[in-house]
Chain A
Amino acid sequence: DQQVKQNSPSLSVQEGRISILNCDYTNSMFDYFLWYKKYPAEGPTFLISISSIKDKNEDGRFTVFLNKSAKHLSLHIVPSQPGDSAVYFCAASALDTGGFKTIFGAGTRLFVKA
């Protein structure tokens, strides 16, 4: 049961253009959403988050948009740089009967071409 889905395994973008990574979730209990970036041989690194009471959060080149009615969030990177090439994970958090959990999607590999 995949509660957090990233349907695009990979994405290729030209340097300087916008990268848009998408994520869908099924559990309406999720109320905190995060994006992480992962380079090979390293653990995931936190990028940006958004609470369910907001629909947009911006940090430099990174913006996360949340559409609660559609249970969809996206990460926009503008402008994309070659150093952004990595695997990006969407994650969602909720408190349920089993305690607090953060569930990750399968990831999208971003290639930024110079």
Chain B
Amino acid sequence: DAGVTQSPTHLIKTRGQHVTLRCSPISGHKSVSWYQQVLGQGPQFIFQYYEKEERGRGNFPDRFSARQFPNYSSELNVNALLLGDSALYLCASSLSETGYSPLHFGNGTRLTVT
């Protein structure tokens, strides 16, 4: 079975640009979450979506937005990129609407903002 897939694997953008990251969950998983991981820290929660609805949001500015499609895949959008947005962006899927089931992570998208 395919795991969580994310694209692209690496991305370089300049300040002020916009970026879209994509995620396909494990088949049968209806919940998708997005995390940001900077060097030396654990993953920081950005969003959770379930059945195309936002179910949770972390402490990130409005420049960050996401959506989930009918096939449960998801996009994370970041506008007006800042140098501090450089990080590994992880997508995770799970069976449960709540967090009471483990998250299955993709290998991430490494975003570099110059």
Q: Measuring CB to CB, which residues of chain A are less than 8 angstroms from any residue of chain B? A: 4, 6, 32, 34, 36, 41-46, 49, 51, 89, 91, 93-95, 98-107
Q: Is the CB of B58 within 8 A of A43?
A: no
Closest to B35 in A: A104
Q: Is the CB of B56 within 8 A of A34?
A: no
Q: Is the CB of A102 within 8 A of B42?
A: no
Tell me if B48 counts as interface (CB < 8 A to partner A): yes
Q: Is the CB of A104 within 8 A of B100?
A: no
CB-CB < 8 A to B92: which residues of A? 43
Q: Measuring CB to CB, which residues of chain B are less than 8 angstroms from any residue of chain A? A: 4, 33, 35, 40-45, 48, 54-58, 90, 92, 97-100, 102-108
Q: Is the CB of B106 within 8 A of A49?
A: no
B63 to chain A, nearest CB (A): 18
CB-CB < 8 A to A32: which residues of B? 99-100
B100 to chain A, nearest CB (A): 5
B95 to chain A, nearest CB (A): 12
